[in-house]
Structure 1
Amino acid sequence: MAHKSHRQKALKAQLEEQPVISLVQPLSSSSSSKTPQSPSSMDVDDDDGDVMITSAPVIDSSTSTSTLPSTVQASSSGFQPLSNAAQSTVLKNEFRRVAIPPHRLSPLKRDWVNIYTPLVEMLGLQVRMNVKRRAVELKTSGHTVDSGAVQKGADFVKAYALGFDVNDAIALLRLDDLYLDSFEIKDVKTLHGDHLSRAIGRIAGEGGKVKFTIENASRTRIVLADTNIHILGSVQNIKIARDAVVSLILGSPPGKVYAHLKTVGARMKQRF
């Protein structure tokens, strides 16, 4: 009992010396110069149980974010944000090679002047025809300004390789919302023999009449290469043209497709 009363007196004396324990204390100049210490704790054993009083680390709420080190001001990923100059730089020595099918080599040689001229003047790329590899090679130069110039040039050359005219493919360089979409007839329906031939005939029409009508109504360009169908246009227009071609593949008569295109065209005019 004497030992217990002596312990209670010592605890009472310590509590009188430190009557208030604050979890958040102002940061003084003297304490900032000292090295941080581990949180102090005081354990008191009693018959009823254990009591632990812990003082939390000191945080000064008046410190502004401008005085924090650069590592704190970084983003959540831990990296500093790029400057405007770094974001606007173009990747140097970016290279792209576009393969040309054998049946498009002769048209490529014939229209070569009309192909490399916009690539050099509009995009500032270095272009050459690799006859051995049967490909067109594109590379950035010191005059390249656009970071996506190589991709635009590759899309332009690929569109020409698929069968589009140069004047139609050059729209990929001038506009940003044009894309290429390719699919096969067998992706829609598996057809063989005369059924496949009749499906191709329904898409083309007599003298290409049906294909031209779909192009004019949907404001796209369509290339029908055997069983492959390539469509050049915006996302919305590509969807309209693809739906019309799919209907023809499934067996719809051209008259029904014309009526649907007329309705869609009127709806597009009202929207815009």
Structure 2
Amino acid sequence: MIEKIFSVPKLEYMQCERRSNLLLVTLDRAAKRNALDRQFIEELFELFSAVEGSDVRAVVVTANGDHFCAGLDLVEHHREDRSATDFMHICRRWHAAFERIQHCGVPVIGALKGAVVGGGLELASSFHIRVADPTTYFALPEGQRGIFTGGGATVRVARMVGEARMMDMMLTGRVYTGEEAVSVGLCQYLVPTDQCLAKAIGIAEKAAENPPLSNFAITSGIGHIGNMPSTDAFFAEAFIAGITNTQPASKERLEAFANKSAPKTLLVPQE
């Protein structure tokens, strides 16, 4: 497979920094708590379209300001007085952008803080791993605002926390923070405030050491398999394993393992 060299598209709401084989993406609309409007969604779509098939091995997404993302830009939504058809098509663009993130072919790690609310949680749920700090809070306040999720929460967030818990969040405005957020699956790591970005980068660096085909199979294959009936899922798993487990990189690493020359790669819990 011929890789393209990653080229940063024109962006107004994000900053990109290349760090070796990693890409650090910073949401940069702090004055609006990084709320997502139509342009922001288009920029996400363009950015992760550029990542797909490129020489980027992992992406870390963080944010400027005190909040990761406060969700849909409600001011824009109210001002434009959208019709049902208008908003349906906007939702489909959100779906397309977040699908690009989830299936861009490389691990995407989120370094979260402050509000991860509504559409912000939908954005974060398209990442493969989420790291939170003590300021991070997760919520789906759509019920109190008289609206409904439109960026994929009914699929991704419901998978993470379960349908009943998601309904509770929407109906009552329940907020999850800290260890409780980890325990229900909204994030995988909780670290001190000044360590969140470093932790996310460390995870991305670790994942980037894997063969690209293996990371592609993990980050895209598992999500697609989860959409299938079990018989089809078993077939797809076998097909993906057949291709991935016989790639040259796998043969080299298995040979090193057999010869006891492979480096230890397991993450050992710290005392």
Fold conserved between structures, TM > 0.5: no
TM-score (norm 2): 0.21
TM-score (norm 1): 0.21
Greater RCO (CA < 8 Å, at least 6 residues apart):
2
